[in-house]
Structure 1
Amino acid sequence: MADQVKHWRVTYNDIHNLIRKTTPKIAQEFNPDLLIAIGGGGFFPARVMRTFLREQTVNKALQIQAIGLSLYEPVEGGTVEQIGNEVIRTQWLSQPGKLLLGKRNLIVDEVDDTRKTLHYALSELKKDVELELLSYPESERGALRSATSFAIFVVHNKLKDKLADLPAGTPYFSGEDVGDVWLDYPWEAINIEQHDRDAATDKATL
């Protein structure tokens, strides 16, 4: 078994409850103005998180924006998709600098595996902010830069060596830390009833 990919099946209820558990900490410590979902795994978590944040903060108009990033390659000898070497941008924000400037922006994804995708997303969004700042008088840039911040939320953080880093001091939140297993998310399932049955079997083996 050591040479095989070990799978851990996650249900919608699992994800919902992990987000519910983590949201109060995010609301208290970061209180985002904008959620940025990394597609496709960040879409469902961001939507669930918005529900809880609207209940726990005064920001009842909290919005979600989406970016698309891909980092995949086939596993040798199989059809499972695994981490690749290059982040590919498939979708980005319209006028990102204007959207992000002066806000507390929370980047949302389903899993922190190698950290390459999160590193890319944060780096590129910060570049967009810096480009937007160039349109303001130099005397105003410092205050605007200080008013703009980013944080990370992932449903699952894999406890493994990462291939990229996040800037020191970046607020980081995870619903759950897990081992280096292959996570099967429910939105990837063709038969959701079978997926949930298999997930229950996984839990019974703990």
Structure 2
Amino acid sequence: MEKIYITYNQIHDTIKDLAEEVKKSGFDPDLMVAIGTGGFIPARMAKTFLNKPILTVGIAYYDLDDRLADSPVITQWVDQPEKQIRGKKILLVDEVDDTRATIGFCLDELQKHEPAEIAVLVIHNKNKEKKHPIPSYIKHYFVGQSFKDPWICYPWDAEDTAEQDQMALKG
């Protein structure tokens, strides 16, 4: 399987560009919801440019061997969603839209709490068949870069970030 190595600087630059895209779109989120664990760092980077608060959710859709499970396990969810989500514009943030199982599940769950609007922001999208369509109520889907279907090696998963940077430069 093809592997692509990504550096923190590449992600930072992509998030900066995506934040500009969000601003230019006219979508002005009240808050971001970061999908853990991959959405935590991108959401924090986006906060630098969008200056919006971050809520976090944890959804385990993959087992320890990165195999997709039949159903998700919610490991963390928004406290008092009726107060924090209802009527708000939400920017859902994750690192990659792979199978869309996790993003789709989160969209469905967030929609139950009657937000004013939800948009999605991902650093990377994999151009492949998805388990969940983007619902018609999603008017903004922000993507930094799309790939066919490589294994994307993110720097927060690396044991040695200097080696990660070198691998990314070899690209």
Q: TM-score when scaled to structure 1?
A: 0.78
Which whole-Å deviations, capped at 9, do the CAs of 1:57-96 have from their partners, x for residues lacking one? xxxxx2000000112146xxxxx52434322211001001
CA distance in 1 between counterparts of 2:148 and 2:5 reads 13
Map of 1:69 onto structure 2: 59
Once the 2 structures are TM-superposed, how far is the Cα of residue 39 of structure 1 from its aligned partner? Answer: 0.3
Map of 1:149 onto structure 2: 117
Map of 1:138 onto structure 2: none
Once the 2 structures are TM-superposed, how far is the Cα of residue 128 of structure 1 from its aligned partner? Answer: 2.7
Mark the runs of 5 or more structure 2 residues left unpaired by the alignment: none
Consecutive aligned runs of 4 or more in structure 1 exceeding 3 Å deviation: 82-85
Letter in 2 for 1:68: G
* Structure 2 counterparts to residues 178-197 of structure 1, below 5 A: 178-197=147-166
SS at match of 1:71: strand
Letter in 1 for 2:110: L
RMSD, aligned α-carbons: 1.5
Letter in 1 for 2:126: K
Map of 1:175 onto structure 2: 144
Counting matched residue pairs gives 169
Please identify the structure whose Cα radius of gyration is greater.
1
How high is the sequence identity, in percent, across the aligned residues?
39
1:121 corresponds to which of 79, 100, 106? 106
Map of 2:32 onto structure 1: 35
SS at match of 1:160: coil
CA distance in 1 between counterparts of 2:77 and 2:136 reads 25
Map of 1:162 onto structure 2: 130
CA distance in 1 between counterparts of 2:137 and 2:113 reads 20
Which whole-Å deviations, capped at 9, do the CAs of 1:117-172 have from their partners, x for residues lacking one? 1110010111133xxxxxxxxxxxxxxx6xx1111000001111111112114121
Once the 2 structures are TM-superposed, how far is the Cα of residue 198 of structure 1 from its aligned partner? Answer: 1.1
CA distance in 1 between counterparts of 2:141 and 2:119 reads 6
User: Could you say which structure has the higher helix fraction?
Assistant: 1
SS at match of 1:155: strand
TM-aligned CA distance change 1:33 to 1:184, over 3 Å: same
Which shows bigger deviation, 157-166 or 84-93? 84-93
1:87 corresponds to which of 49, 69, 72? 72
Mark the runs of 5 or more structure 1 residues left unpaired by the alignment: 55-61, 75-79, 130-144
Which whole-Å deviations, capped at 9, do the CAs of 1:92-130 have from their partners, x for residues lacking one? 01001210122110000000001111110010111133x
